[in-house]
Amino acid sequence: MKVLCIGEALIDMICTDRGSRLADGQNFLKKAGGAPANVAAAIAALGGHVDMAAKVGKDPFGQHLIDLMSEMGVNTKWVIQDPNAFTTFAFVSLMEDGERDFYFNRGADGQLSMADLAGLNLKEYDIVHFGSATGFLPGPLQATYIDLLNQAKEAGIKPGGFAALGSFIDKAVPEAEQQKAAEVVLKVLNGVIWELWQEARAQLKLPPAKNDMESQRFIQAATSALSDANFYPAPLVFQLDSFEEVKASVFQVTRSPGKNMVYLGCLLLTLGIFAMFYLPERRIWVRSLSNGKQLFAMSTSRKTLDFEKEFEKYRREIVDYRLFKTSSLSR
């Protein structure tokens, strides 16, 4: 399955000063963002074939977005770098009351035109994702959305989600009021999904969700999922239909002709260690002096209480043996 995601790719500047308005925030964290770009990254992470169509500035931030999407497996053939526009920034902070404070510094994302997508054939794709609220706003991107929607209809792709909603606003709302209408619709959608989520948690006897940044991300993802539900005929559920156990018997034969020698060596090693610790080693030195006397000395690995008695015993035995040998020779 081949998917095309069309819309915004931008830089999110998230205020890390919790509870501060954007005007009061001092610290911001740079993150890659844009609803269609997030969807494309998720599809690529799941192993899908996805192309991204968007416009960014020919600046370090635009190059960062292209490099990051490419690393994640998204085809960026249709991501255009505009040297005359800067990459769009979205500044966001979470207020104490849970409301989000947004400010968009619109740049290249809303300038995507049909001329930038010359050669794009929607018939090559199984799913075309129109998932950007920026497409509601008057400008080249809105016109591109409308043209691509018409092409999608001709290709047999039924419009829905954000794309169909944007087309409805374009037809039913005066141009001067379209941006305000789009913001109101999105706020209503987010509010409804929030209430549904809280109701679902209550039925499951779970505590109410906190209105924090993580919850807001979930609401955004749920809204995008609701928009994309139009592309799928039914929810996809994976379940185990059957299980077949496959058993394998393995017979292994080994031959080791030298194993008896190994066992004998281990036994001798054990006996040697035992003898080293429990049988003291004794050495006796005898030196004959020039005056006919002998000098005796003895050493041991462990000195016992009977060491001196043993020394005297061995000395007498050696002396008696030498005297015996001398007497035998004189006969």
Bridge partner residues of 57 (DSSP)? 82
Q: Is the pTM of this model over 0.95?
A: no
Residue given tokens 């992470």 in the structure block:
45
Q: Which two tokens stand for residue 217?
A: 């991300």
Query: Average pLDDT for residues 196-203, to the nearest whole number?
Result: 84
Domain range holding 289?
A: 259-330
CA 35 to chain centre: 21
pLDDT the model gives residue 276: 73
Terminal alpha carbon distance of the chain: 115
Look over the chain and give the mean of its residue pLDDT values, rounded to a whole number: 79
89-98, 117-126, 192-201 — which is least confidently predicted? 89-98
Query: Average pLDDT for residues 213-232, to the nearest whole number?
Result: 73
54 and 194 share one domain: yes
Does the pLDDT value for residue 118 go beyond 80?
A: yes
Per-residue model confidence as pLDDT tens digits over 137-170: 777 888 888 888 778 777 766 556 666 666 667 7
* Residues with Cβ within 8 Å of residue 132, at least 6 apart in sequence: 6, 7, 8, 34, 35, 36, 109, 141, 162
Residue 245 lies in a domain: no
pLDDT the model gives residue 51: 92
225 and 272 share one domain: no
Query: Average pLDDT for residues 4-13, to the nearest whole number?
Result: 88
pLDDT band at 308 (very low <50, low <70, confident <90, very high): confident
141 and 265 share one domain: no
Residue 136 lies in a domain: yes
Does the pLDDT value for residue 235 go beyond 60?
A: no
Per-residue model confidence as pLDDT tens digits over 46-73: 778 899 999 999 999 999 999 999 999 9
Q: Are 17 and 116 in contact (CB under 8 A)?
A: no
pLDDT band at 322 (very low <50, low <70, confident <90, very high): low
Does the pLDDT value for residue 328 go beyond 60?
A: no
3-17, 23-37, 152-166, 224-238 — which is least confidently predicted? 224-238
Side chain identity at residue 132, one-letter code:
S
155 and 199 share one domain: yes
Q: What percent of the chain has pLDDT over 70?
A: 81
CATH number of the domain within which 85 lies? 3.40.1190.20
Name the CA dihedral angle for 157, 159, 161, 164, rounded to a multiple of 10 degrees.
160
Give CA–CA dist 106/86, Å, rounded: 8
Q: Which two tokens stand for residue 71?
A: 């690393």
160 and 284 share one domain: no
317 burial via Cβ count (<10 Å: 0-12, 13-18, 19+): exposed
pLDDT band at 133 (very low <50, low <70, confident <90, very high): low
Residue 212 lies in a domain: yes
Residue 244 lies in a domain: no
